Homo-oligomer: A and B are copies of this chain.
């Protein structure tokens, strides 16, 4: 048996500027770091658990209040915490989708959306993206018609990404929801790249479910996330157990089936809560983040042959960039091949670009300071110049 005791201390966030696409919004706040240390023991929030014995009823720490505040913040009626956005997709799929039901996702849906629906036995169909890499209400409407005709019934649910993981584009959610509701199809918003970093108003978007990720965008430890829904669907997705022991006659109170009772009993819920005031504040400054994103994108586009595949100007901090005619040309002859880019960046104190990637890759500027943004811009351009690429 090998020894797995030696876990190096992680210090990348202290030593480097991290532009990893998935990690930017999940860095803990200082308050969450402190809370994580204080509540790291297993069932640490259960000290004062009293009847009816469910996580969202605990008052000390103020978990019950947090649930209410979080629902209000998202302009939805009810919130529950789950171990990751994917577990939110799973809870909704398991509640709404019957085996064999047609369902809709999009050409930009994350694999966890597919997997949650696959687990529910769904017949999964995609809404195509348009030529601008957008999911539109028109395409949704056309696809609802197609799938309904083929399947003989309307899709049970439509999953759509507020911001997709491939391009970081913001999609036409209100329009899509309006169309779906004309066919009585409930709409789930995948807010993994929005809830916690940019303003999200569930009622204004007109969706039935808002799913957020704590470790992706709410400055919380993994796995954490949330399901928010309306009064209409709360009783379905948050239904309580009806199980009864046939010999003992036991019943199990108000434990919710899809939540499996309690969900985040320690460091994860406390991390979410401790970051929440800062998270509420930071979404109000989204414009600053978008500005920074555009600054880096502009610096990259000044390098000859570099193209942005995401919407321009950027409306989000996650960006997909095409450097086939710039950094990848360098890689062809560089002794380190495609690894030169990530290695050169690391030497300059920037990490988060997948080692070996020089063709199409993604980065996320969320949460960087102005000085860090400048440094990232300079680093890319210096590496370009050092390797013979023109910078305009």
Report B-chain residues with C-beta under 8 Å of the C-beta of A4.
Answer: 62, 65-66, 69, 273, 276-277
Report B-chain residues with C-beta under 8 Å of the C-beta of A243.
Answer: 111, 114-115, 117-118, 124
Report if A291 contacts B (CB, 8 A).
no
Report B-chain residues with C-beta under 8 Å of the C-beta of A220.
Answer: 42
Report if A87 contacts B (CB, 8 A).
yes
Report B-chain residues with C-beta under 8 Å of the C-beta of A355.
Answer: 50
A86 touches which of B20, B114, B261 (Cβ 8 Å): B261
CB atoms of A40 and B241 under 8 A apart? no
Report B-chain residues with C-beta under 8 Å of the C-beta of A118.
Answer: 241-243, 257
Interface size on A, residues (CB 8 A): 106
Alpha-carbon separation in the docked complex, A66 to B12 (Å): 22
Give A70 Cβ to nearest chain B Cβ, in Å: 9
- The residue on B at minimum CB distance from A35 is B7
**Interface stretch (choices A198-206, A247-255, A309-317, A378-386):** A247-255
**Interface stretch (choices A170-178, A182-190, A211-219, A319-327):** A211-219
Report if A39 contacts B (CB, 8 A).
yes
Report B-chain residues with C-beta under 8 Å of the C-beta of A241.
Answer: 111, 114-115, 118
Q: C-beta contact mask, A113-131 vs B, less than 8 Å → 1, else 0? A: 0111111000011111000
Q: A13-B41, A38-B10, A40-B267 are in contact. Are A261 and B112 (CB under 8 A)?
A: yes
Give A24 Cβ to nearest chain B Cβ, in Å: 9
Report if A338 contacts B (CB, 8 A).
no
Alpha-carbon separation in the docked complex, A250 to B253 (Å): 43
- The residue on B at minimum CB distance from A270 is B7
Report if A33 contacts B (CB, 8 A).
yes
CB atoms of B23 and A5 under 8 A apart? no
CB atoms of B73 and A83 under 8 A apart? no
Report if A37 contacts B (CB, 8 A).
yes
> Would you list the 3 A-B pairs with minimal beta carbon distance, nearest first?
A26-B42, A42-B215, A83-B83
11 other contacts beyond A111-B255, A223-B268, with CB at 8 A cut-off?
A: A4-B65, A4-B276, A7-B62, A7-B270, A33-B40, A37-B40, A42-B221, A111-B252, A119-B257, A126-B248, A222-B265
